[in-house]
Amino acid sequence: MEEIKKPEESWATRLGFIFAIIGAMVGSGNIWRFPRMMAMYGGGAFLIPYTIALFTVAIPLLIAEGVIGRETGKSTIFGFAKYVGKKYAWLGAWVAWVNIAIMFYYAVVCGWALAYFTKGLTGIYGTYVAGKGLQTWEAFTSSYQPLLFAVIVWIFTWYTLARGARGIEKVTGLLVPSLFIILAVIAIRAITLPGAGVGLTYMFKVDPSKLSNAEAWLQAYSQVLWSTGAGWGIYLTYSAYLKKNDDINLNSHITGFGDTSAALLAGLGVITTVAVTAPLLGLNPLDVYAEGNVGLTFIWLTELFPKIPAGALIGTLFFLALFFAAFTSQIAIAEVLIKNIVDFGIPREKAALYGSIAGFIIGIPAALSLDWLNNQDWVWGVGLLISAIVFSIIMWKTGLEKNRETANRGSDIKIGKWWDIMIGYVSPISIAIVLLWWLKQSISWYPETWWKPTEVFSAGTVIFQWILAFIILYVLFGKVFMPKIEARLAEEG
């Protein structure tokens, strides 16, 4: 007989799960990174490696996560311990830790979006003033406003997660459809601007020369991994609230397509808006796209929105969409921590409260220092690539064919041996290449001091913090966690 779960431990409907998982995966990266990458790396040509990466890496990884989550009903730590063996629980802890480390600063970014939405309500995006984008950003980041809005985000996060899966389902059921509607409105406004054709050219014209550019492929694979959340452990965590015969394969495909759809809508809005308005200020749109996630979003778009009709409304809606996307990802990232705490026997209400308080306190440095936030984003963003490789290792260890058969149970889409090849070979090799490329890139950024842990984006800071995390996890597992894991698993038989 199938175990009867408490309401907070299961999704009420399949649609509720789909909204929740799409909300988890559609984050800030879809809105501020995907448009930049697409515009800079060949427009329509960028979609070719992106789509290949979606089918060869992202969707196979999501299926792998779904198998572990659905079969065990557990978090990353207990899910690994139960599915493959107790000695592999530390790998689940690594996956959890990377999410936790991201959680500390991601709430701050989420707060930025909320702050800029509230600025929009004052009409700031309606009147053009030269240099206003940079002035607004510097005034904001040099104040205590990032800390204040981080508090608000954590209060929202605590309130949502204290209610479990049903709380997540209610919030994402409202925010995710709203997000897509807002992105559609922004996209329609952008493509109906006078001269919008230049933006559509940036987005959809295929530049064949970019297909021979290795960097375009590496950026596309990176974007897919960071955008879809494949290999993060989030899909595993949300799948723990599924029933034993719920569809993994179809849900994984829907998640991948839903995430890409949001990215394309954001691309239509952002790429076209910049392409039309940047020349009005004597700027090359490609130079604006190259300003980075923060520079494009919080500096240049703030300055450019007043240059379009109804700019005050569109700018406000844009940052509301960014907040919705970031917040639904924020609660998913935080849920990885909360679910692990709950599995150790702590009641959910307390786990949500303790996790939110700790998240805010440890995230204070990110709210007060952009260098610290950027460093953590670099270290643990690249760390996610290791997490993704971990899932391929687990699939190998437990048997590729066995896991494929498990994924096919109850699924409307049956996966074949192609999945074995993707998850067993193509995915880990592709991710390893991307990982090594990023580390090689960071060495070129600091040719003389790449080994220094104190450099914001160096290879040295990545390696140092990874080793430190591994040592701490190893010590904690041996002396603290493992006895508790064994006891909890023994209680459950």
- 43 three-state secondary structure: strand
Flag whether 59 is in a domain: yes
Whether residue 102 lies inside any domain: the answer is yes
Number of domains observed in the structure of the chain: 1
What token pair was written down for 309? 């009709």
Handedness of CA 395, 399, 401, 403 (dihedral sign): negative
Number of other residues whose CB lies within 10 A of the CB of residue 360: 21
**Please, are residues 66 and 250 in contact by the beta-carbon 8 Å criterion?**
no
Can you tell me the distance from the alpha carbon of 51 to that of 47, in angstroms, rounded to the nearest whole number? 6
What is the per-residue pLDDT for 1?
37
- Is 357 part of a structural domain of the chain? yes
Phi (first) and psi of residue 369, to 5 degrees: -135, 115
Lookup: tokens for 291: 């300003």
**Amino acid at residue number 232:** W
What is the pLDDT at residue 174? 98
- Give domain status of residue 474, yes or no: no
In a domain, 386, yes or no: no
Residue type, 24: A
Domain that holds residue 58: 7-370
Determine, yes or no, domain membership for 417: no
CATH of the domain at 196: 1.10.4160.10
Residue type, 195: G
Residue 90 lies inside a defined structural domain of this protein: yes
Within 8 A by CB and 6+ apart from 345, the residues are 484, 488
How confident is the prediction along the chain (493 residues), in pLDDT tens digits per residue? 344 556 568 999 999 999 999 999 999 999 999 999 999 998 899 999 999 999 999 999 999 999 999 999 999 999 999 999 998 999 999 999 999 999 999 999 999 999 999 999 999 999 999 999 999 999 999 999 999 999 999 999 999 999 999 999 999 999 999 999 999 999 999 999 999 999 999 898 888 888 999 999 999 999 999 999 999 999 999 999 999 999 999 999 999 999 999 999 999 999 999 999 999 999 999 999 999 999 999 999 999 999 999 999 999 999 999 999 999 999 999 999 999 999 999 999 999 999 999 999 999 999 999 999 999 999 999 999 999 999 999 999 999 999 999 999 999 999 999 999 999 999 999 999 999 999 999 999 999 999 999 999 999 999 999 999 999 998 888 778 888 898 988 888 6
Number of neighbouring beta carbons within 10 Å of residue 82: 22
Rounded to an integer, what distance in angstroms lies between the CA atom of residue 428 and that of residue 388? 8
Structural element, H or E, at residue 156: helix 145-161
From the list 55, 54, 92, the residue with the least C-alpha distance to 393 is 92
Neighbours of 162 (CB within 10 A): 19
Would residue 453 count as lying in a domain?
A: no
